[in-house]
Amino acid sequence: MKKNDIDHGRRAFLRISGAATTLALVAPLAALAQTPAGGAMKIGVVGSGRIGGTIGKLWVKAGHQVLFSSRHPEQLKGMVEPLGPKASAGTVREAIVFGDAVLIAVPYAALPQIGKDFANELKGKVVLDACNAIAARDGEIVKEVQEKGIGVTSAQYLPGARLVRAFNSFSWMKFESESNRAGELIGVPIGVDDPEALKIGSKLVRDAGFEPVAVPLARAKEFAPGGPLMGQALPVSELKKRLGIA
Ligand SMILES: NC(=O)c1ccc[n+]([C@@H]2O[C@H](COP(=O)([O-])OP(=O)(O)OC[C@H]3O[C@@H](n4cnc5c(N)ncnc54)[C@H](OP(=O)(O)O)[C@@H]3O)[C@@H](O)[C@H]2O)c1
């Protein structure tokens, strides 16, 4: 072996061990930076499409453990793998059982069946409901939502869940682009009556990079389709003003 080869080998080793030392120093900092205030949670996502996929990714980025679900979990592989070890894929049941909190983001017409199929698993669970009732897609149930209000209707189809209406009021693209934006944060209206759901729902809105503005569940219709705040991604002070909150 020539001296040059040895030197080259040593240099490579030093480079690697130097990198390893740097990694050892940096890794715990990175881990710290990714631990959300108040601790990391386990979150199940039901409906990992545009809204569920987007919000779930923001939570992974914040340091939460997220199980994305689908009726065909194998199809989520491409979405979940690049997100690293904090993201995984599974069935709808697995996501609901896994989560300390569960985000449901499916077509509204699918909500009653999910409430029925997983009644036991959902009992006592904090559920963030992002589903909107859209006439062209959801059919009959839209009339019921218009009559009763969306918060009341969701609570009826998810009995026993500690419900928060959240992440439904503007487009997934805005959730993606406005998360943790510079300057005043964008407000996310949440409709909630249960105190524990208020606490966890507010935390998860903050961890996604927004500021929660809470109103009673019965007022959730104000930021659902047909309501004056639907589609509006407003700075938090403006949102509070529009909701009449000092
Ligand atoms: N898109 C937006 O910007 C936006 C904004 C606010 C609120 N929302 C509301 O959020 C909900 C989801 O919208 P999206 O745009 O994210 O829809 P999407 O991209 O079509 O994703 C919805 C997901 O729901 C799942 N799903 C459909 N039927 C289901 C069922 N019966 N049981 C379990 N999972 C079911 C599908 O997953 P699998 O087929 O993989 O099971 C699908 O990936 C809707 O109610 C929508 O109105 C959407």
Question: How many Cβ atoms sit within 10 Å of the Cβ of residue 30?
Answer: 9
Domain residue ranges in the chain: 1-33, 42-243
What confidence tens digit (pLDDT) does each residue in 32-59 have? Answer: 447 788 899 999 999 999 999 999 999 9
Confidence (pLDDT) at 103:
99
Sheet hosting strand 65-69, strand order edge to edge: 87-90, 65-69, 42-46, 101-104, 126-129, 162-165, 187-192, 211-215
Average pLDDT, integer, range 178-199: 98
What confidence tens digit (pLDDT) does each residue in 94-127 have? Answer: 999 999 999 999 999 999 999 999 999 999 999 9
Ligand 1 centroid to 108 CA: how many Å?
Answer: 8
Q: Ligand 1 pocket check: which of 106, 121, 167, 177 to mutate, most ligand atoms within 8 Å of Cβ?
A: 106
DSSP state for residue 98 in the 8-state scheme:
H
Ligand 1 atom showing the smallest separation from residue 54 Cα: 16
Q: Which residues contact ligand 1 via a Cβ below 6 A?
A: 46-52, 70-72, 92, 105-108, 110, 113-114, 130-132, 134, 168, 171-172
**What angle is formed at CA 115 by the lines to CA 113 and CA 118, rounded to 5 degrees?**
100
More confident residue, 26 or 193: 193
The domain 42-243 is placed in CATH, from the list 3.30.420.240, 3.20.20.370, 3.40.190.10, 3.40.50.720, at 3.40.50.720
Average pLDDT, integer, range 6-25: 37
Alpha-carbon distance 128 to 70, whole Å? Answer: 17
Confidence (pLDDT) at 16:
35
Ligand 1 atom showing the smallest separation from residue 110 Cα: 31
